[in-house]
Chain A
Amino acid sequence: MLEVIDASFSYERMDVFKNINFRVNEGEIFCIVGPNGCGKTTLLDCLLGILRLKRGEILLNKRNIKTTSPGETAKQLAYVPQLHEKTFPYSVIDIVLMGRAAHIGLFSAPSSRDVAVAEEALELVGLTSFKDRPYTQLSGGEAQLVLLARALAQKTKMIIMDEPTAHLDFKNELTVLETIVQLVSKTGLSIIMATHFPNHAFYFENNSIDISVALMSRMTFSAVGSPSEILSEDNLKSIYSINAKVVSHRMDNDSELRQIIPISTVA
C-alpha cells in the first residue's frame, strides 16, 4: 500500500533523515520508535505530503505522493495528530464531519450521508453519546478518540498517528490501544504510528496483530522487524543510551506479554 524508497529530508542545510526504506501492507501496524528529535514527525509529515522529500520517493498505492493532490491523498491516507490546541468549541460531531472534507465539494457542506458516515465513525470508537458535547470540554483520551473517529470518517485504508497516547493516563491509553486493535483486526486497516512507548509494539504483538517496528536513530532506520527481535536490551541501549530490562509476563490465556523496564541512563 505504502512504499518509501531511499527517502531523505533536510531543512536548509540541516539533514533530518536519509536513506529510509520501508513498506506497509494492508492490515499491518508499522511502529516508528526513536528518541526525541530523531525526525519521526518530519517523516510523518513527508508521508502526508505536507513536506517534500529532498531525495527518494513515497508511493501511496503505487502513485507518487508528490503528484497527488491533497484531496486525493486524503482519500487514501488519514491523519490523527497529537493532542492539539483547541480553538473553537465545536461540537464533537462537527469535528468528526471534518473528516469528510475530501469527499465534499469546494462550495458544499456535508450531506445527510456524510453525517451518517461520521456517526458510524463515532460509534466505532464508542463515543456515540458524545455527539453534541463541546469538543473543548472533553478529556484528553476522549478528544484523542474523537480525532481517531475523524480519521475513520475519511474512509481510508491507512491511518497515520503521531503519538496517539501522549499525555494520556493508563485507562485512556489502553482505551486507545484497544480501539486500534479492534479496528485493525476487524477492518484490515493499516496504521503507521510514531510513538515514545515501545511497549505498545509488544501490546500489539501480544494481540496477534501483524506488526513491524522501526528503530529510528542517527537520521535513519537502524533496524526494522518484529517487536520481539528488534526491541532488545542491546538495541535500546544503542538508540536511547539507557540500560533496560525486557521482561515477560505470562497472561491468563497463556500468551506472553513482553514489557520494557527502563533502569538507568548510560553514563
Chain B
Amino acid sequence: MATRKKVFYILLILSPLAFIFLSLFVGRYPLSISSIVNILICKITANPCNLPDQYNSIVWEIRMPRAILGALVGGALAISGASFQGLFRNPLVSSGLLGVSSGAGFGAALAILLFSSTSYTYVFAFFFGGLAVLASYLIGRTYNTTPAIMLVLGGVIVSSVFSALISFAKYVADPYNQLPTIVYWLMGSLATARYHDIVIGGIPMAAGISGLIAIRWRINVLSMGDKEARSLGIDTVVNKGIVIACATLATAGAVCVSGIIGWVGLVMPHIGRMLVGNDNKVLIPASLSLGACFLIFVDNLGRLITGSEIPLGILTALVGGPFFVYLLKKTKGGGW
C-alpha cells in the first residue's frame, strides 16, 4: 500500500515533466530528433553547439517556455476547478464559477482598447479577474457566513455583468486592429509564451497551487456543507476564504498569460475522479497533474494540425469532449 502510494505520487510528478520533454520534439519547424538531443546535451554540459543558433532558440526560447507555461496553466485551471467542485458541493462547477474568467476577459479587452503595449493586458486581466471574484464574494456574504448558494448566485451575476462589458468593449473596438486581438485573446493561446510569461503568471499560479495542495484535505470536510463542517470543528468562513483566494490566484495567474481556456477546469477534475476517486487528498494533486499533461498535449496538437494555430479554447473542448465520453463509458462514471 505504502509503495503503491509512492509510485502514484512519483507518477503524478513525472508525467507532466515527460510531456514537457516530449513537446520539445514537436513543432512546425522541422528539427531532427538528433539535433534536438544534441542541443539539450550541449546545454546541460555547457558546451558550445555546432548547430545554428536558430535551432537552439527554437528549443530553448520557444518550445520550452511554451511547454512549461502550458503545464502551469493547465494545472492551475484543473486544480482550481477541483477545489471549487468540492467547496460548492457541485460537480458541475469550474474554475470560472465566481467570475474570474469573465472579469479577466474584460480586463484584457479594456487594456487592448486603452493601450497599445501588451504588458498592460496581464495587469488588467489579473486585476479584473480578482476584482470579479471579490465582488461575487461580497454579494454572497450574508451576515457573517458565506453560504454556497449565495456565492454561486453572486458569481452568476458578476459573470454576466462582465460578459456584457466584454461585448461592449468588442462593440466599441476598432474592427481591423483591436477587435481581432480581443477575440483571439478570449479564445486562449500559448503561442506567444516566453520566459517572462512564466515569471509573471507563474508567481500567482504557484502560490495558489501550493495553497490548495496544502489545504486539500479540508475541502473534503467543507464539501459536507457549512453546518456539518462547522460541527466537525472547521471555521467555515476562514477555510472557504483560503480556498477561494488560492483558486482565484491560480486561475487569474493562468488566465492573464494564456487568455480564456475553458473546459480544463471542469473536466480534468472529473477524469481525476474516475481515475483516483473523490478523496480530495488524492484528487487535488491528480487534477493538477492531469490538467498539466492535457494542456501540453492539446497545445502540441494545435500547432501540428494546421499552419495557423487553432486557439486553445476551441481545441480543449474538441479533444476533451470525446475523451471524456470515452472515460465516462469505460469507468461507468465511478460511483455517481
- Are A and B a genuine interacting pair, yes or no? yes
Instruction: Flag if A136 contacts B233 (CB, 8 Å).
Output: no
Flag B260-275 by CB within 8 Å of A: 1 or 0 each.
0000000000000100
Flag B194-234 by CB within 8 Å of A: 1 or 0 each.
00000000000000000000111110110111011111111
Closest to B89 in A: A87
Asked whether A94 and B231 contact (CB < 8 A) given A88-B278, A89-B278, the answer is no
Instruction: Flag if A84 contacts B228 (CB, 8 Å).
Output: yes
Complex CA gap A236/B217 in Å reads 47
Complex CA gap A48/B335 in Å reads 32
Instruction: Flag if B233 contacts A50 (CB, 8 Å).
Output: no
Closest to B215 in A: A107
Question: Does chain A have a CB within 8 A of B334?
Answer: yes
Complex CA gap A101/B234 in Å reads 7
Which residues of A lie under 8 Å from residue B229 when comparing CB positions? 101
Question: Does chain B have a CB within 8 A of A137?
Answer: yes
Asked whether A102 and B217 contact (CB < 8 A) given A88-B91, A89-B336, A91-B277, the answer is no
Instruction: Flag if B221 contacts A48 (CB, 8 Å).
Output: no
Cross-interface CB contact of B233 among A74, A84, A134, cutoff 8 Å: A74
Instruction: Flag if A94 contacts B228 (CB, 8 Å).
Output: no
Instruction: Flag if B89 contacts A98 (CB, 8 Å).
Output: no
Instruction: Flag if A101 contacts B91 (CB, 8 Å).
Output: no
Question: Does chain A have a CB within 8 A of B70?
Answer: no
Question: Does chain B have a CB within 8 A of A203?
Answer: no
Give the one of A48, A77, A90, A104 with max B CB within 10 A: A90
Which residues of B lie under 8 Å from residue A101 when comparing CB positions? 218, 221, 229, 232-234
Minimum distance in angstroms from B225 CB to a CB of chain A: 7
Closest to B224 in A: A98
Cross-interface CB contact of B228 among A71, A75, A81, A102, cutoff 8 Å: A81
Cross-interface CB contact of A50 among B90, B217, B231, B239, cutoff 8 Å: B231
Main secondary structure of the interface of A (DSSP, over half): mixed
Q: Tell me the chain A residues, 21-68 only, with Cβ under 8 Å from chain B.
A: 45, 48-50
Q: Tell me the chain A residues, 122-163 only, with Cβ under 8 Å from chain B.
A: 134, 136-137, 150, 154, 160
Flag B74-104 by CB within 8 Å of A: 1 or 0 each.
0000000000001001110000000000000
Complex CA gap A89/B227 in Å reads 19
Which residues of B lie under 8 Å from residue A247 when comparing CB positions? none
Give the one of B89, B90, B232, B239 with max A CB within 10 A: B232
Minimum distance in angstroms from B232 CB to a CB of chain A: 4
Minimum distance in angstroms from B61 CB to a CB of chain A: 37
Cross-interface CB contact of A74 among B214, B217, B232, cutoff 8 Å: B232
Instruction: Flag if B232 contacts A99 (CB, 8 Å).
Output: yes
Which residues of B lie under 8 Å from residue A7 when comparing CB positions? none
Closest to B333 in A: A89
Asked whether A94 and B279 contact (CB < 8 A) given A45-B227, A88-B223, A107-B215, the answer is yes
Cross-interface CB contact of A109 among B217, B230, B232, B233, cutoff 8 Å: B217
Apart from A71-B233, A75-B233: 5 A-B pairs, beta carbons within 8 A:
A74-B231, A101-B218, A102-B233, A109-B216, A134-B335
* 14 residue pairs from A and B, CB less than 8 Å apart: A73-B231, A79-B231, A87-B223, A89-B278, A89-B334, A91-B279, A98-B220, A102-B232, A102-B233, A104-B217, A106-B218, A109-B216, A109-B217, A110-B281
